Amino acid sequence: MAVGRLTGALALLMPGQSAQYQGMGTGLYRDVPAFARVMDELFLLMGAAGDELRSDWLAASPRVSIDHANRSQPLLFAIDYALGRLLLDWGLRPTVLLGHSIGELAAATLAGVFDLASAVRIVRHRVGQFATVPAGGMAAVAASQAQVQPHLRPGVDIGAVNAPRQTVIAGAVEPLRTTLDALRCAGYTWAPVPATVPFHSELLRPVVVAAGPLLASLPARPPQIPLVSGYTGGYLTDAEARDPGYWASHPVDPVLFWPALTTLAGAGPQLLVECGPGNGLTTLARRLPQVRSGHSEVLALLGPPTDPSREAGQLAAAAARLGASPP
């Protein structure tokens, strides 16, 4: 495989729930001081909860599973954002950002829609509210949204459209189970998504309502770097960026990742870089006709989940391919 230097407009893809894995980013925290500084800044803004999050994240045997929303969500936000800051510090200038679910909040923060303190307040508030949501789960179905829709039981909703034939559903435990049974009987393949909260289902409506006043009180500015919205599939408008309702309703709105990715890829040849743990979004991006044909390329900063001791090396290799020279 080519290991040469990559060029072209830089697009950052920032992952969300399902990208998390035990130990993600901890090697960078130990070996890359610039990354650790940003992570510490974020933990500090989280207060006492930040101390606990940090120690559990670094622990060999964490008290709370990484798949639990109060671990996965703040950590994915923090790692996505910290990696983005690192790229900016290296002098790289992304031309567009696209985040998946909580990754969109990281992207918006990197783009200056929210200041860091405000973004951390949004994440903390949201995670606090998840405790009030009935237990549920998520699953990825190898089928289109139209194929899945008729099989959804009440209490189960479309959570994400990740690819033409990859649709994520979310809901309470029991109706999710019967929906998945029905899908299996209809001949569809599915796999569970590691999540303890049915993200992007109607069950999260109370979280949206509760976030309203907080979001209305926080300053929001138009993005300094163009952002493709995972909720409209188009470029985020200045009005949307300033609309508290747009941000508040993320937990119930389905993530239209594939439509958004298609919009992004349509802007011309570019380099799509996964700015967060894992390589899930770049794997999906490899299915884009623009990538299949070689007009656009993809690169995951960290690559597939690996041992933390190898993360700094992975990142250095990615930096070299991007032509960046970390200070």
Partner 1 sequence: MKQMTLSALEQIMHTCAGEDESTDSFQQAPERAFADLGYDSLALLETQSVIRREYGVDLSEQALSAAETPQQLVDLVNRWLSAA
In the complex with partner 1, the residue whose CB is nearer, 205 or 292, is 292
Residue type, 278: G
- Report the residue number, 156 or 207, with the smaller CB distance to partner 1: 156
Q: How far is the CB of 283 from partner 1 (least distance, A)?
A: 5
Instruction: Catalog residues that contact partner 1 under the rule CB under 8 A.
Output: 1, 140, 142, 144, 163-166, 189-191, 279-280, 283-287, 289, 291-292, 304
Say how far apart CA 288 and CA 293 lie, in whole Å. Answer: 9
Contacts of 6 (CB under 8 A, 6+ apart): 271, 297, 299, 321, 322, 323
Q: Write phi, then psi, for 138 (nearest 5 degrees).
A: -140, 155
- For 81, list phi and psi in degrees, rounded to 5: -65, -45
Question: Which tokens in the block code for residue 317?
Answer: 């290799």
Length of the chain: 327
Least distance to partner 1 from the beta carbon of 289, Å?
6
Nearer to partner 1, 13 or 38 (CB): 13
Nearer to partner 1, 173 or 191 (CB): 191
The answer to whether the beta carbons of residues 227 and 98 sit under 8 Å apart is yes
Nearer to partner 1, 76 or 291 (CB): 291
150 vs 187, which CB is nearer to partner 1? 187
Residues 6+ apart with CB under 8 A from 221: 112, 113, 241, 242
Nearest Cα to 248, choosing from 312, 194, 204? 204
- Taking the complex as a whole, how short is the minimal distance between the CB of residue 304 and partner 1, in angstroms? 6
Q: How far is the CB of 258 from partner 1 (least distance, A)?
A: 10
> Of all helices (H) and strands (E), which one includes residue 168?
strand 166-172
Query: In degrees, to the nearest 5, what angle opens at C-alpha 42 toward C-alphas 40 and 45?
Result: 110
Nearest approach, Cβ of 190 to partner 1 (angstroms)? 8
Minimum CB–partner distance for residue 290 and partner 1 (Å): 11
